Structure 1
Amino acid sequence: MKFIKNSLALVGIISISGLFIFAMQKSPDDKAPSDYQLGKEDPIINNYNVYALEMPENLNFAGEPVPVEDPDIYERMDRELLVNTYWQSNGLLMFKRAQKYFPIIEPILEKNGVPDDFKYLAVIESGLIQTAKSPAGASGVWQIMKATGRENGLEVNDNVDERYNLEKATEVACDYLKKAKQKLGSWTKAAAAYNAGNYGVSKRLKAQDVTGYYDLLLGEETGRYVFRIVALKEILSHPDKYGFNFNKSHLYKEVPTYKVEVDTAVTDFAKFAKRFGINYKILKLHNPWLREAHLNNKSRKPYLIEIPKEGYYSAKP
């Protein structure tokens, strides 16, 4: 059974009335000014020309090389780099959201012994949108199916859905990826299994009598999956190289919070929020796993509700 279905593909070229919209890509002959680097002020907008991209050297996923010397692999990798470089609005949003959510994801990956590169898997799954939901029902940043969430200890119902709790969902994703790596033998195949399932990847490896992801003939989605991850890793790691112009002030910031433990029912979250100087909207923004305007909690289970620290929102309670 698939772990994740119908992930939200974040690649494509925007077409309006037959015209393609492209990003501002530097000429290969241009030197990369330091102003393009993350955090530098006064970035320079270069030009509107469109350039072919040089294939980066030493591309890898979790330390496992991408064999771009193979003509087929080269073309597939080139496609994902081009598509994601020249979808500039989406690319800028990824930089903005990464600044906000990577600091939450990264330490959980490290604690679980999962390579840091897997944070880019979350990018292609959901665009780092906490409330993302696929047509098949996969939900949250990590796009976890309802049954999978429950099997891995998450509470999933109409009242509480912990697939939308980024910290808990990241723990579940780590557990799945570690088991997939143990079963399939490599992090690259574990990443593919996040899309197609352990059984799906194992079945195709056996049927085609090969051992590696890059040797498999796969359907469109799984066949592009790892290449998308590597492309986003490359682009998000080198914004200046791919013509993305911004400074640190343009990026989204994580709002500091503190946690309040609740082990009883909450009849009205609007009134609950006012007790902490915020309104219902702000409470739900920081706790998207609370799916209704109240908390049933008949079992008196302890929940940790995040409350933003004072002074970060101008909205009145």
Structure 2
Amino acid sequence: MNKVNIITRSQVIVFFLTLFITNTSFTRSPYNDDIIRRVENLNTVIDVRVTDEVLKQIKSTVESWREDSESVLGRSSLYFPVIENVLREKNLPDDLKYIAVIESALLPRAQSNQGAAGMWQFMKGTAELFGLKVGKVIDERKDVIKSTEKATDYLQLLYETYGNWTIALAAYNCGTGRVNKAIKKAGGSKDYWAVSQYLPTETKRYIPRFIAAAYLMNYYYIHDLSPA
């Protein structure tokens, strides 16, 4: 979805949605090499590449925000089975569940200052387009099952539009209009890593954040993290 800043005092949301503005460049080291090897072994449908931004997001996840990461790990045991069931029913990739991690830190009632809401951070217009009720009394964006069903419908449509999941995720974040313009500037390429230079700053970091979320969920124990 579009860039959001969750309105909450919880650092959990700040952790996943705050953009890191430093331009750190990581040097080769045994520690970094181990992370790189694990990233390359991730089983995911997106085009995984290890960049400085990817390493930065991973290190922030497992080092700087350990307590928040453990809270998200704890919520994953509650919400991942729900998401996985919907993905399985629709024959969609299991790792799309990590989108909910970077969108809302798995908080069903997450609310943004731009109007996005719920675990999947639907904007009102998009939610209603996909059949969710959005009102003062009922807001189905905050219904875990219903919002997951519609988010996966949207993701499937984006995949059918672009033919690869990496670009589909970028479009989920910033919209098809911006992605289409970026693809045109990239000479028609649908390689996310070629297109990303023409995408908004938030979207440039969206895939690295997705990779960091996947890394956390698969390798948290290596970093002595435990679900809270």
TM-score normalised by structure 1 residue count: 0.60
Report the alpha carbon displacement of residue 164 of structure 1 after superposing the two structures with TM. 0.7
Cα distance in 2 for partners of 1:100, 1:178 equals 24
Aligned to 1:228: 209
Aligned to 2:220: 239
Q: Is the 8 A contact 1:12 1:84 kept in 2?
A: no
Query: 1:139-150, aligned counterparts within 5 Å?
Result: 139-150=117-128
Query: 1:1-12, aligned counterparts within 5 Å?
Result: 3-6=1-4, 8=6, 10=16
Report the alpha carbon displacement of residue 224 of structure 1 after superposing the two structures with TM. 0.5
Q: Residue 106 of structure 1 is aligned with which of 63, 84, 92? A: 84
Q: Is the 8 A contact 2:82 2:145 kept in 1?
A: yes
Matched, 1:56 2:37: yes
Corresponding letter in the other structure for 2:74: K
Q: Residue 66 of structure 1 is aligned with which of 48, 55, 59? A: 48
Higher RCO (CA 8 Å, separation ≥ 6 residues) = 2
Aligned to 1:307: none
Percent identical among aligned pairs is 33
Report the alpha carbon displacement of residue 159 of structure 1 after superposing the two structures with TM. 1.3
Q: Residue 61 of structure 2 is aligned with which of 49, 68, 84? A: 84
Report the alpha carbon displacement of residue 63 of structure 1 after superposing the two structures with TM. 2.7
Cα distance in 1 for partners of 2:47, 2:121 equals 26
Aligned to 2:23: none
Aligned to 1:186: 164
Corresponding letter in the other structure for 1:197: G
Aligned to 1:219: 200
Larger-gyration structure (1/2): 1
Higher share in helix: 2
Q: Evaluate the alpha carbon distance shift between residue 60 and residue 200 of structure 1 in structure 2; reply closer, same or farther with a 3 A threshold.
A: farther
Aligned to 1:130: 108
Cα distance in 1 for partners of 2:105, 2:47 equals 25
Cα distance in 1 for partners of 2:112, 2:159 equals 25
Report the alpha carbon displacement of residue 64 of structure 1 after superposing the two structures with TM. 3.6
SS at match of 2:205: helix
SS at match of 1:195: helix
Report the alpha carbon displacement of residue 163 of structure 1 after superposing the two structures with TM. 0.6
SS at match of 1:54: helix
Q: Is the 8 A contact 1:12 1:83 kept in 2?
A: no
Report the alpha carbon displacement of residue 65 of structure 1 after superposing the two structures with TM. 3.6
Q: Is the 8 A contact 1:156 1:163 kept in 2?
A: yes
Corresponding letter in the other structure for 1:211: K
TM-score normalised by structure 2 residue count: 0.82
Aligned to 1:40: none
Q: Evaluate the alpha carbon distance shift between residue 11 and residue 80 of structure 1 in structure 2; reply closer, same or farther with a 3 A threshold.
A: farther
Query: 1:270-281, aligned counterparts within 5 Å?
Result: none
1:153-173 Cα offsets, whole Å, 9 max, x none, are 111111111111110000111
User: 4+ runs of 1 displaced by more than 6 Å?
Assistant: none
Higher share in strand: 1
Corresponding letter in the other structure for 1:226: I
Cα distance in 1 for partners of 2:180, 2:190 equals 9
SS at match of 2:136: coil
Q: Evaluate the alpha carbon distance shift between residue 11 and residue 241 of structure 1 in structure 2; reply closer, same or farther with a 3 A threshold.
A: farther
Gap regions ≥5 residues in structure 1: 15-27, 29-50, 69-73, 252-317
Q: Evaluate the alpha carbon distance shift between residue 152 and residue 61 of structure 1 in structure 2; reply closer, same or farther with a 3 A threshold.
A: farther
Q: Is the 8 A contact 1:77 1:231 kept in 2?
A: yes
